[in-house]
Structure 1
Amino acid sequence: MIVTYTHPDGTVEQTSTNDLSAIESADVEEVMGGTAWRVIEDRLRGQDPTAMRAVLWAVRKRDDAALKFAQVDVPGWRRRLTCRIEREEIDEVLDNIVAEALAKSEDAAIDAILPHLRKLAHDKDDIAAALDALGKGHLVTAPEDSED
């Protein structure tokens, strides 16, 4: 997942949770009260500001080891802080849905999740690429969703 914070001056701070080390991920779990990483991922998908802030903190600590979680604030977080899924997460969701859909010989399950994936995708073209990779490229022509 990619956490993005657009500072008030317009500069963009962006990081992928895939780039966190195991220690950094454990630090995020710790500052979130011992929350398991799978729960943190769910909270990130839900745009939870504390989870997004914790990821930013872990990355910022690379340059300032003494930085405390309480010192990391994200003014205007509702407008400036987002978390979006990456291609590998899109592939994982679609793989799971396709396995279920193929068992039933239907595309309805994929169609149902596409608007959600389009909203969460960091790169909207990843949706079409993932569908093509699954042999479901015919589903790409769904109506355009509005930008968030």
Structure 2
Amino acid sequence: MIITYKQADGTVEQVSTLDLSAIESADIEEAMGGTAWRVIEDQLRGQDPTAMRAVLWAVRRRTEPTAKFSEFDVPGWRRRLKARLEREEIDDVLENIMAEALAASEDSAIESMLPFLRKLAEDTGDIDAALKALGKGHLVTGPAVSED
């Protein structure tokens, strides 16, 4: 996931969970009360402010090692903070759906997931590329979704 924080001065900070170290991921789990990483990923997809804040905090600790999670705040988070899927995650979702769809010989499972993926993708072109890579290029023509 890519966590994007638009700061008050307009600068944009982006961090990817793919760049987290194992220790940073464990620190995030601990800061969130022992929450398992898989649950945190689900919370990120759901735009959970605590999960997004925890990822930013972990990355900020690289330059501010004494930063405490309990004191780390993200003002205006509803307007400024979002989590979006990266290409690898889109590929994973579509591969899982594809396996199910192939078993049932239908595209409906993939089609039902496309609006969700289009809304959460950092780059919506990644969805079309992933569909083409799966041999499902005929599903590329989907409605455009706003980035908000």
Question: TM-score, with normalisation over the residues of structure 2?
Answer: 0.98
SS at match of 1:5: strand
Unaligned runs of 5+ in 1: none
TM-score with structure 1 setting the length: 0.98
Between the aligned partners of 1:27 and 1:125, the Cα distance in structure 2 is 33
In the alignment, the residues of structure 2 paired with residue 147 and residue 94 of structure 1 have an alpha-carbon distance, to the nearest angstrom, of 20
Mark the runs of 5 or more structure 2 residues left unpaired by the alignment: none
Q: Tell me how large the CA RMSD over aligned residues is.
A: 0.8
Match of 1:12 in 2: 12
Task: Find the counterpart in structure 1 of residue 130 from structure 2.
Answer: 130
> What is the deviation of 1:70?
2.0
Cα shift readout 1:28-80 (whole Å, capped 9, x = no counterpart)? 00000000000000000000000000000000000011111122111110010
Moved over 6 A (4+): none
- Counterpart of 1:48, as a letter, is D
Deviations, residues 99-133 of structure 1 (Å, cap 9, x unaligned): 11111111111110000000000111100010000
Q: State the aligned residue count.
A: 148
Give yes or no for the alignment of 1:70 onto 2:70: yes
Counterpart of 2:146 in structure 1 is 146
Q: Mapping of 1:85-96 within 5 angstroms?
A: 85-96=85-96
What amino acid does structure 1 have at the position aligned with 2:126? D
